[in-house]
């Protein structure tokens, strides 16, 4: 084959577009690495938005549907946070848990370790159930059991997440501290 006579095919630019087709395709007519990275980044941002907003939205729904009469009418010690403080911190905790779960998912941790997702899901369900049980139904004993289960699920999550992504485990430490504080508040509510 005579390679001396071969010529490179040029792609004509469209005067109506700002970039040429040749700039986005390499010589084998595949998308460039930059385009592939941009597509992956967009998918990553979408999955991050879903992973963070879904638990926060579920917490907002349980807050909206819940009642607060039992908490407002009881006499509380001075170190009890106001109700908005409880709920704001629960939302921040669900945000951090969603972010750490996304970090584990991005590393493929839910596929590598099949225990990771059920443990995370149990933590999410228990944290969603705690507010309506304690503030809505006024059942602090049941809320204390749920709080202990939530603490156990968080410890399980942190052990599973530590193996996949240490940053995800570090993001869970404020959540563990918050649930420990919730257990103390819940125990005090039992004796009020």
Whether 178 has a pLDDT exceeding 70, the answer reads: yes
Whole-prediction pTM: 0.74
Q: SS3 of 9, please? A: coil
Domain extent for 88: 52-191
For 107-129, the pLDDT digits (tens) are 888 888 889 999 999 999 999 99
DSSP summary character for residue 31: B
- Largest separation between any pair of C-alpha atoms in the chain: 94
Can you tell me the distance from the alpha carbon of 35 to that of 23, in angstroms, rounded to the nearest whole number? 10
Q: Is residue 169 part of a domain?
A: yes
Q: Is residue 71 part of a domain?
A: yes
Q: Is residue 62 part of a domain?
A: yes
- Determine the pLDDT at residue 72: 65
> How many distinct structural domains can be found in the chain?
1
Q: Is residue 12 part of a domain?
A: no
Query: Which stretches does DSSP call E strand in 64-110?
Result: none
Q: Is residue 32 part of a domain?
A: no
Q: What is the CATH number of the domain that holds 170?
A: 1.20.1260
**Phi and psi torsions of 18, nearest 5°:** -90, -25
Other Cβ atoms less than 10 A from the Cβ of 40: the count is 10
Q: Is residue 19 part of a domain?
A: no
Q: Which of 62-71, 108-117, 132-141 has the lowest mean pLDDT?
A: 62-71
């Amino acid at each position: 084959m005579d390679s001396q006579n071969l010529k490179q095919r040029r792609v004509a630019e469209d005067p109506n577009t700002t970039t040429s087709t040749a700039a986005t395709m390499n010589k084998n007519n595949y998308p460039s690495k930059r385009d592939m990275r941009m597509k992956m980044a967009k998918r990553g941002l979408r999955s991050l938005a879903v992973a963070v907003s879904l638990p926060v939205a579920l917490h907002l729904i349980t807050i909206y549907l819940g009642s607060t009469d039992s908490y407002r009418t009881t006499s509380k010690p001075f170190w009890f946070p106001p109700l908005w403080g409880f709920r704001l911190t629960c939302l921040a905790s669900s945000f951090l848990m969603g972010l750490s779960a996304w970090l584990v998912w991005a590393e493929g941790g839910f596929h590598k370790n099949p225990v990771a997702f059920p443990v995370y899901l149990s933590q999410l369900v228990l944290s969603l159930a705690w507010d309506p049980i304690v503030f809505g139904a006024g059942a602090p004993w049941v809320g204390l059991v749920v709080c202990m289960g939530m603490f156990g699920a968080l410890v399980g999550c942190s052990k599973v997440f530590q193996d996949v992504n240490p940053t995800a485990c570090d993001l869970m430490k404020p959540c563990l501290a918050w649930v420990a504080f919730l257990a103390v508040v819940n125990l005090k509510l039992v004796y009020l």
